[in-house]
Amino acid sequence: MGLFATKSYLAETFPYKKLIQMQRIMLKTLLVGVLGLGVMNVSHAVERGIINNSQSPHVKLKSVDIGDCQWTEGFWADKFKLCEEVMMPHMGMILKGDRGHAYNNFKIAAGLKEGKHEGTNWHDGDFYKWMESAVYVYAVNNDEKIDKDLDEIIEVIGKAQQADGYLSTQIQLSDIPAWSNRQSHELYNSGHLLTSACIHHRVTGKTNFLDIAIKHANYLYNTFQPQPKELARFGFNQTQIMGLVELYRTTKDKRYLELAEIFINMRGKSKVGPDSTANFKTIGDMVQERKPLRKESEAVGHAVLALYFYAGAADVYAETGEKALIVALDRLWNNVVHKKMYITGACGQTHHGASSRVDMVHEAFIGEYMMPNLTAYNETCANICNSMFSHRMLGIHGEAKYADIMELVMFNSALSGISADGMLYIYSNPLRVLHGARDYSALSTETPDRQPYLDCFCCPPNLVRTIAQLSGWAYSLPENGVAVNLYGGNKLQTQLLDGSEIELKQDSQYPWDGVVNITLQKCKDTPFDMMLRIPDWAEGSRLAVNGNDANVALEPGTFATINRVWKAGDVVTLDMPMEAKLVVGHPRIEEVRNQAAIKRGPVVYCVESPDLPTGTDILDVYLPSDVQLTALQDDNLLGGLTMLSGAVMLRDEQTEDMYSSLEQPQWKHVDVKFVPYYAWSNRGQSEMTVWIPIVWK
């Protein structure tokens, strides 16, 4: 049966966590007693991370196991509870019902139900993402109903899978040949299948879902590894790269890593133009095929496609260490973050437009510093993918700047994709909304407020699975210690990379309050590092151990490292000043010149019409440069949040003329409240803006 046997019958008859603990003890005994290896050379803690990089040779910060960190109080604890009690089960009802229809598609393909495929070509992938969110919730609450429900679903999916391993219901329930059109999203569905199955296996120990994934991956290998000419340009939304690498990490079958690298190498090798698998709308920069990835100089095309591609390439680098690959990824990360990303961490400036090389693009990156507000697309999925890419780069480089982006996205342009009650969704995330300024009836995925269901349902389960897994992003493991990536009330019980146990508790009301207390509850008695992220906005932070200055350098945007002999009861206190600041854009961002946004800690704020005098046009709001902003905590508003209060200037007169002579405005001063951007559109349809014109004082 082997030392690491994980067959379904084992998991069903023996608690999985106990099994893993026994395996660790057996491995430790074998390596230390038989091979004579020191404990310090053995990695014990990270076989079950969200990204299972325990054996990845080119990763500096390893993942903690799923469930080792749990939110206990405050912002993310509240969001996880909402996810557990509302977001995940409510979404499951939709996707398993006739409206969402995703589960019905599998039942029909399995011969268990009559009907036809409904939903988008990528709807299988949406369902796999929801399943993944359920597994993360199960990892925390151990609710047997979730486990049983997933087993029933997996049985249906297994029956829907073809004998050769193919599985994509929109093709199986149609007369469209497999691999005939890249917009069929077969590989997108594949990627989410592989990822979801790996996560399910890590948490439950079962192989029922993993067996389906392996069978499918073997089919993909047999289909694509020979690199037939007719499939040379195939690939659209390339989640399969991440999924294949994760399956390689799970099974150690090198074919899956080989195939992941083939999918990277395929892009940019062929002549660009319409062919049997792609029309003029899905070629060139739209799908990142103008240049090979290693030679690409800028982020181009569909923002979700690009960022999933980059995240997958980062996974491949973590295993291969190819220098040309990481050089390109560093270049692309910098291009996204410093030249094409919104202040909210959002990506994808346009719904329809042209790339810098004049290819037609959709839901896409466009030119550098071209950052419209009203028409900003910023698909929720793209924003989440931005954080996923940075999460992988954090592991590879071990630098805090990547966690800064993860945090920026999650507190702003990701969380804005779902309502405060967890049941309404939005696809695009503009930075300004004006009544009557756009005809939303012609824009399909763009709406002025959140909706109970989106016909294109990729974003909602992507966000819910990310909220469900976020505690697994909060900490990482360096060579000798622990890194604190995200702040908020939580507890961590894990093992360091040398196998020693560590337990700590984090107390904080972050992001509303900048004080974080971390109490060591259990640890080894030899020195190790505690790395605390000093956010890039946190100038003037203070760090203490047991009330005494830690005497380490605190540079915003980096980790502050304390190395010492720790003991139970030690308390680390990080005090970050939560000052509301006005932020301005780069001079080349024409859309925000002479305007400012408000940011307090990691949270970006906006002004919304419910907080303005009745009848006020959002465009008549001006911000004094010397505005004094006061933080107001309201535990009863939208699940509890901190608003900002300050006096703005309202322009009295209005004009309908497109142009008019410059005249001194007549001003009216009023006190208004600003709400976090993620919370806009929770109080009825309203106007909103993040950027506000400045009146210099």
Residue at 197 is within a domain: yes
Q: DSSP states of 652-692 as a string?
A: ------SS----PPPEEEEEEEEEEGGGTTSSSS--EES-E
311 and 286 both lie in a single domain:
yes
Give the tokens for residue 15: 């608690």
Residue at 59 is within a domain: no
> What share of the chain has pLDDT > 90, as a percent?
88
Distance CA 611, CA 633 (A): 15
Is the pLDDT at 394 greater than 50? The verdict is yes
Quickly state the pLDDT bin for 46 (edges 50, 70, 90).
low
Residue at 55 is within a domain: no
Is the pLDDT at 42 greater than 70? The verdict is no
Residue at 53 is within a domain: no
Which pTM value belongs to this model?
A: 0.93
Q: Report, as an integer, the average pLDDT of 429-440.
A: 94
Based on the structure, what is the number of domains in the chain? Answer: 4
Which amino acid, one-letter code, is at 438? R
568 and 647 both lie in a single domain:
no
Distance CA 415, CA 81 (A): 15
Q: Are strands 489-495 and 603-608 parallel, antiparallel or unpaired?
A: unpaired
> Which three-class secondary structure state does DSSP give residue 325?
helix
Distance CA 651, CA 674 (A): 18
Residue at 57 is within a domain: no
172 and 263 both lie in a single domain:
yes
Of residues 160 and 37, the one with the higher pLDDT is: 160
CA-wise closest residue to 490 among 503, 475, 506, 474: 506
29 and 88 both lie in a single domain:
no
125 and 24 both lie in a single domain:
no
Among 431, 455, 472, the domain boundary falls at: 472
498 and 371 both lie in a single domain:
no
Is the pLDDT at 22 greater than 80? The verdict is no
pLDDT digits (tens, 9 = 90+) for 634-668: 999 999 999 999 999 999 877 788 998 998 889 99
Is the pLDDT at 396 greater than 70? The verdict is yes
Is the pLDDT at 366 greater than 90? The verdict is yes
- At 19 the pLDDT is 46
409 and 431 both lie in a single domain:
yes
Q: Report, as an integer, the average pLDDT of 134-159.
A: 98
Is the pLDDT at 2 greater than 50? The verdict is no
Q: Mean pLDDT across the chain, nearest whole number?
A: 93
CATH number of the domain where residue 211 is located: 1.50.10.10
Distance CA 504, CA 571 (A): 10
CA-wise closest residue to 425 among 437, 433, 414, 435: 414
81 and 20 both lie in a single domain:
no
> What share of the chain has pLDDT > 70, as a percent?
93
Q: Any idea how long the chain is?
A: 697
132 and 229 both lie in a single domain:
yes
Residue at 288 is within a domain: yes
571-575 β-sheet, strand order: 69-73, 489-495, 501-508, 515-522, 571-575, 542-545, 548-549
Quickly state the pLDDT bin for 27 (edges 50, 70, 90).
very low
CA distances to 241, 280, 295 from 257, rounded to whole Å, are: 8, 31, 21
Is the pLDDT at 18 greater than 90? The verdict is no
Among 450, 472, 494, the domain boundary falls at: 472
Q: Report, as an integer, the average pLDDT of 275-299.
A: 92
Is the pLDDT at 683 greater than 70? The verdict is yes
Residues 6+ apart with CB under 8 A from 458: 120, 122, 125, 126, 129, 304, 381
Is the pLDDT at 31 greater than 80? The verdict is no
Inter-residue contact 582 to 629 (CB < 8 Å):
no
CA-wise closest residue to 290 among 298, 339, 350: 298
Quickly state the pLDDT bin for 279 (edges 50, 70, 90).
confident
CA 449 and chain centroid, separation? 22
Helix (H) or strand (E) holding 70: strand 69-73
Residue at 63 is within a domain: no
Is the pLDDT at 5 greater than 60? The verdict is no
CA distances to 296, 521, 545 from 328, rounded to whole Å, are: 7, 42, 40
What is the chain's Cα-based Rg?
25
3-state helix, strand, coil in the chain (%, to 5): 40, 20, 40
Among 427, 456, 472, the domain boundary falls at: 472
Q: Report, as an integer, the average pLDDT of 233-256.
A: 96
Inter-residue contact 278 to 297 (CB < 8 Å):
no
Is the pLDDT at 139 greater than 90? The verdict is yes
402 and 451 both lie in a single domain:
yes
Distance CA 167, CA 175 (A): 15
Is the pLDDT at 278 greater than 90? The verdict is no
Distance CA 475, CA 68 (A): 10
Q: For residue 541, give its domain range.
A: 478-578
- At 444 the pLDDT is 87
| 69-73, 276-280, 305-309, 451-455: least confidently modelled range | 276-280
322 and 356 both lie in a single domain:
yes
515 and 596 both lie in a single domain:
no
